[in-house]
Structure 1
Amino acid sequence: MALTRATRRLLIVMLALIGLLLGISAVGSALGLFSRNTGLEVEVDKATRRSITQVVTASGSVQPEVEVTISPDVSGEIVELPVKEGDRVVRGQLLARIRPDFYEAQVQQAEAGVAQARAVMKQREADLIRSEAEYKRQQMLFERNAISASDFDAARSQYEVAKSALEAARHAVASAEAQLREAREQLAKTVIYAPMSGIISKLNVELGERVVGTSQMAGTEMMRIARLEQMEIEVDVNENDVVNISIGDTAAVHIDAYPERTFRGLVTQIANSARIANQGTQEQVTNFPVKVRILGSVALPTATAASGPVVSEEVPTTTELLPPLRPGMSGTVDIYTKTVFDVVAVPIQAVTVRDFNRVRPEGQTAPADTAQNPSVLKEDLRKVVFLVENGKAKMVEVQTGIADDTHIEITAGLAGGETVIIGPYRAVSQTLRPGMPVRIRPPERTPRLMATVQ
């Protein structure tokens, strides 16, 4: 009986060991550990000819292209407010009226001042006429030696004083009239009219509320009038990307409130001054505001994302009417800055950099002093891609152009059709060296490994 139990235990242990060995063999075969080819396993793709559109993506908020802030020029109580938020108004329509009592009194006071100044001027004119007649009489008597020089000088002095007094009175009248015009203008400003046609997009005051005029300080913002049929989105573009954007570039606008729709856009303005956040710190960010006019709603092909880059021709010029867009809505803009056609391109992850003072393509040798002492020269970083030729990695220096989300243009170094190593990332960025043995990972390897792990 004891022997039977020991035998069973031995059989169980043996079966467990056999299962473990079978599992290790399966995993090792899947990973290529037992393959005769001991090269580094890599993922590859082909260098192909295609069209590439460089896209700059940024986020921002929707706003009207034209929006006017209405603030009163004079202070006082609102006694009439015939509009409400959302109303459509036309140019010249009454928007608000401020109590005019104080400004009417100022006009009356200014009118009285003008009348008084004119009366004083009339008196000075009469004084001048009298002084002039006296001066002429004294001059005639002085020429006949009938009066002394001092009497003649006194008459002449009085005449000059009368002329100056009349001139001062005339200036006083002009000053009083100017004050009257100003008072009438202030009275006229108690009535506020619409400076343009549009919609009351924002109303900040109520009937009976007191407002402060802009002549005294910043003033009270009473309301805003906007043309909501002409909307734009203002986005912040990083300083490294803004140099690629030009006025007139087309764009695809995605509004968060309308996830199922794409809007056609056009770059209309690029700021010259930056917005700097966290200035003076390590988190400093420099962005430039860019305004994109929203032209209309379009339906971009759903196959675009899967089939390749979006070129400018794929943004239709015919658009539908805009849905209701409200100021402040958030969205994202894809600005198509440049498109090249029928160029050699490879996946972005295939391009890496190598220090040519440490690693050089086959057939090239480093300088003698560098070979003996690699720290003699500074880094010579160049862009390269690795190809698969005869089971080995071949490093090729390349020059690149623009890129989209998946591919980058190769302007020099490749002719197209080459087998390019695109992964794993660590291998491309660090491990690969010229002449290193490699083996291509089968296309079905990744799904099988994922199924094994699950």
Structure 2
Amino acid sequence: IYMRRKASGVTQVTTETVQRRDILQVVTAFGSLNPQVEVAISSKVIGQLERLYVDEGDTVAKGDTLVELERNRYRAAVSSAQAALRSARSDVSRVEANLNQAKETLRRSQAMFDKNLISEDALLQAQTQVEVQEAMLESAKNNVDRAQGTLEETQDDLDQTTIIAPVSGVVISLSVEEGENVITGTMNNPGSVIMTIAQLDAMEAVVDVDEADVVSLEIGQKVKVEVDAFSDTFLVGEVVKIANSAKLQSVGGQETVANYEVKISVPEPFEGIRPGMSCTAEIEVEKAESALAVPIQSIVTARDDPQEETGGGRPKTRNGMTRKRDAVFVVKNGVAHQRIVETGIADDRYIEILDGIEENDKVVTGRYEALRALQDGDRVEEISSGFQGPGKGGFGGRPN
């Protein structure tokens, strides 16, 4: 199916003319869409949910009443705190009167002592009474402050039985019903989440990017986001956050995959998008404009690299190992000539050629088995592409 060779030794191949085109290299990642602003509504006090004013899917404005809890116990606490405050203030008035009386007694005692009518002990006793009443007044005033604080705390608890919307948005989830009890959270136990409000006018795509691709990402890169539920449209966004630590996932045996969470801002989502919808993100990492390009399947591993044989040396990888050279076959006058090429970036169909061929050269693109077996100097005959083999662009990857 893939190769036809005439009895004369001519191999039938398909070709494509080298042209200039824009190459956009992307990193593809998968994830879901979520609101940028999502607020979990919970209660700051414990109580029974007495009335629920919204339902899931409702739109609310900041300040709207969402929930009312049972208030009787909190009203009683406020009444008790008010009574305690009144009592504390009465104590202050009483102690102030006693202090004034003690001061008057001290004034008279001092006058009598100056006339030698009373002893020094009597004068000291009067002075002590003044100091005692002053201390009692300070304590009474402190009691007023404590009672005032208790009243404010109980009043705040009463106020918290009415829960209002902290932001405008849409109720995307509702977790309780009227009559249920809600609890507050602690350090170790989360409280009851009554509902979640989200602002759907600004979304973000949260995707997992492979460790091999994350090194190409930068904040601000443009992204095309396709929502699985809306296959005929796409959103435009940009990278706003790249995780510093990986999420490790075991895929069987001892093999572990490391992915990095990347957040993509989508400021203008279209109507109908719901939180949690699956999406595919194509992140633009590099672009080459008007670059010489050939189909990816035309790139092969160089046969009998002349630089290696003449001692010119072959390129090295980072660990010092020899890297095989890329090559293409250029057809001229019915003969396939191998050309060593330097490649650049690639998209899903074409790869940039930095050096080794020229514009308007004809390169062999298939068929797959023919290209795999082709050698420098082989005679070829160009035919129509016809059937395309498996894989993108009609081929199952690049030949060896």
Q: TM-score when scaled to structure 2?
A: 0.78
Describe the SS at the equivalent of 2:292: strand
**2:383 counterpart of 1:443:** yes
Query: Unpaired runs of 5+ in structure 2?
Result: 391-400
Separation (CA, whole Å) in 1 of partners of 2:198 and 2:82: 40
Deviation larger for 214-223 or 49-58: 214-223
User: Of the candidates 56, 63, 68, which is equivalent to residue 27 of structure 2?
Assistant: 56
Q: Which residue of 1 aligns with 2:141?
A: 170
Matched ranges for 1:214-293 at <5 A? 214=185, 217-259=189-231, 261-267=232-238, 269-278=240-249, 282-293=255-266
What does the per-residue CA deviation read over 1:238-268, in whole Å, with 9 as the maximum and x for residues that have no partner? Answer: 3443444455544433222223x21232126
Q: Which residue of 1 aligns with 2:321?
A: 379
Separation (CA, whole Å) in 1 of partners of 2:381 and 2:105: 122
Describe the SS at the equivalent of 1:222: strand
**2:106 counterpart of 1:160:** no
Q: 1:145 to 1:56 in 2, by over 3 A?
A: farther
Q: Which residue of 2 aligns with 1:361?
A: 307
Q: Which residue of 1 aligns with 2:354?
A: 411
Separation (CA, whole Å) in 2 of partners of 1:180 and 1:56: 59
Q: Give the aligned residue type for 2:42.
A: S
Q: Give the aligned residue type for 2:197.
A: I
Q: Give the aligned residue type for 1:84.
A: D
Is the contact between residue 252 and residue 262 of structure 1 (CA under 8 Å) also seen in structure 2? no
Q: CA deviation at 1:237?
A: 2.5
Q: 1:411 to 1:137 in 2, by over 3 A?
A: farther
Describe the SS at the equivalent of 1:205: coil
Q: 1:51 to 1:449 in 2, by over 3 A?
A: closer
Q: CA deviation at 1:79?
A: 1.2
Is the contact between residue 85 and residue 202 of structure 1 (CA under 8 Å) also seen in structure 2? yes
Q: Give the aligned residue type for 1:443.
A: I
Is the contact between residue 42 and residue 438 of structure 1 (CA under 8 Å) also seen in structure 2? no
Describe the SS at the equivalent of 1:219: coil
Query: Unpaired runs of 5+ in structure 1?
Result: 1-26, 297-321, 371-376
**2:48 counterpart of 1:77:** yes
Separation (CA, whole Å) in 2 of partners of 1:133 and 1:283: 88
Rg (Cα) greater in structure: 1
Is the contact between residue 397 and residue 413 of structure 1 (CA under 8 Å) also seen in structure 2? yes
Describe the SS at the equivalent of 2:256: coil
Alpha-carbon RMSD across the aligned residues, in angstroms, is 4.0
**2:66 counterpart of 1:88:** no
Q: Give the aligned residue type for 1:379.
A: M
Separation (CA, whole Å) in 2 of partners of 1:332 and 1:99: 46
Q: CA deviation at 1:144?
A: 7.1
Describe the SS at the equivalent of 2:307: coil
Separation (CA, whole Å) in 2 of partners of 1:354 and 1:447: 26
Q: TM-score when scaled to structure 1?
A: 0.69
Separation (CA, whole Å) in 2 of partners of 1:255 and 1:45: 34
Is the contact between residue 250 and residue 264 of structure 1 (CA under 8 Å) also seen in structure 2? no
Q: Give the aligned residue type for 1:282.
A: E
Separation (CA, whole Å) in 1 of partners of 2:321 and 2:370: 20
Q: Which residue of 2 aligns with 1:317?
A: none
Is the contact between residue 206 and residue 261 of structure 2 (CA under 8 Å) also seen in structure 1? no
Separation (CA, whole Å) in 1 of partners of 2:43 and 2:341: 67
Separation (CA, whole Å) in 2 of partners of 1:353 and 1:174: 85
What does the per-residue CA deviation read over 1:298-322, in whole Å, with 9 as the maximum and x for residues that have no partner? Answer: xxxxxxxxxxxxxxxxxxxxxxxx3
Separation (CA, whole Å) in 1 of partners of 2:146 and 2:79: 15
Separation (CA, whole Å) in 1 of partners of 2:388 and 2:195: 64
User: Of the candidates 120, 126, 130, which is equivalent to residue 91 of structure 2?
Assistant: 120
Is the contact between residue 302 and residue 340 of structure 2 (CA under 8 Å) also seen in structure 1? no
Deviation larger for 344-353 or 388-397: 388-397
Deviation larger for 172-181 or 412-421: 412-421
Q: 1:70 to 1:449 in 2, by over 3 A?
A: closer
Separation (CA, whole Å) in 1 of partners of 2:366 and 2:108: 117
Q: Give the aligned residue type for 1:241.
A: D
Q: Which residue of 1 aligns with 2:292?
A: 344
Q: 1:33 to 1:353 in 2, by over 3 A?
A: closer
Q: CA deviation at 1:389?
A: 7.4
Matched ranges for 1:185-204 at <5 A? 185-204=156-175
Q: Which residue of 2 aligns with 1:210?
A: 181
Describe the SS at the equivalent of 1:120: helix
* Structure with a larger share of its residues in helix: 1
Is the contact between residue 32 and residue 206 of structure 2 (CA under 8 Å) also seen in structure 1? yes
Q: Which residue of 2 aligns with 1:327?
A: 275
Q: 1:294 to 1:441 in 2, by over 3 A?
A: farther
Is the contact between residue 354 and residue 381 of structure 1 (CA under 8 Å) also seen in structure 2? no
**2:53 counterpart of 1:107:** no
Q: 1:134 to 1:380 in 2, by over 3 A?
A: farther
Q: CA deviation at 1:285?
A: 1.6
Is the contact between residue 9 and residue 379 of structure 2 (CA under 8 Å) also seen in structure 1? no
Q: 1:126 to 1:157 in 2, by over 3 A?
A: same
Separation (CA, whole Å) in 1 of partners of 2:140 and 2:37: 49
Q: Give the aligned residue type for 1:32.
A: R
What does the per-residue CA deviation read over 1:198-217, in whole Å, with 9 as the maximum and x for residues that have no partner? Answer: 32221111111111124785
What does the per-residue CA deviation read over 1:339-369, in whole Å, with 9 as the maximum and x for residues that have no partner? Answer: 32111223334556779xx9552784258xx
Percent identity at matched positions? 31
